[in-house]
Amino acid sequence: EDQVTQSPEALRLQEGESSSLNCSYTVSGLRGLFWYRQDPGKGPEFLFTLYSAGEEKEKERLKATLTKKESFLHITAPKPEDSATYLCAVPAGGTSYGKLTFGQGTILTVHP
């Protein structure tokens, strides 16, 4: 069974204080790893797809990286508007093809 674990559960940063969120996964065969951002009371917003170890993707202050066991979401010089819950997910294969297994999320709070 696929498993996805995110850490930390919550992260408080000062504006400008860079940090990283972690997503560890155990899957039978990696078919991609997705990062989403979710604001309170809204649906998840798609950020990145990573598919192979060593791959990196960037968007504004966010950079996602992937190894064979985990993914990191690096946040450089965060701003208060980056405050949100960040979710990672992996798609299942076999009879569960396409279903996503989500981590529990990391709640990021950036203080001005």
Partner 1 sequence: GAVVSQHPSRVICKSGTSVKIECRSLDFQATTMFWYRQFPKKSLMLMATSNEGSKATYEQGVEKDKFLINHASLTLSTLTVTSAHPEDSSFYICSARPWGATYNEQFFGPGTRLTVL
Residue number with CB closer to partner 1 (54 or 112)? 54
Binding residues with partner 1: total (CB under 8 A): 22
Side-chain-side CA neighbours of 96 within 13 Å: the count stands at 13
Name residue, tokens 């950036």.
110
Question: What is the contact mask toward partner 1 in residues 52 to 81, using x (rule: CB under 8 A)?
Answer: ------------------------------
CB of residue 42 to partner 1, shortest distance in Å = 6
Residue 35 as a binder of partner 1 (CB under 8 A): the answer is no
Residue 46 as a binder of partner 1 (CB under 8 A): the answer is yes
The residues of the shown chain that bind partner 1, judged by CB under 8 A, are 31-32, 34, 36, 41-46, 49, 51, 87, 91, 97-100, 102-105
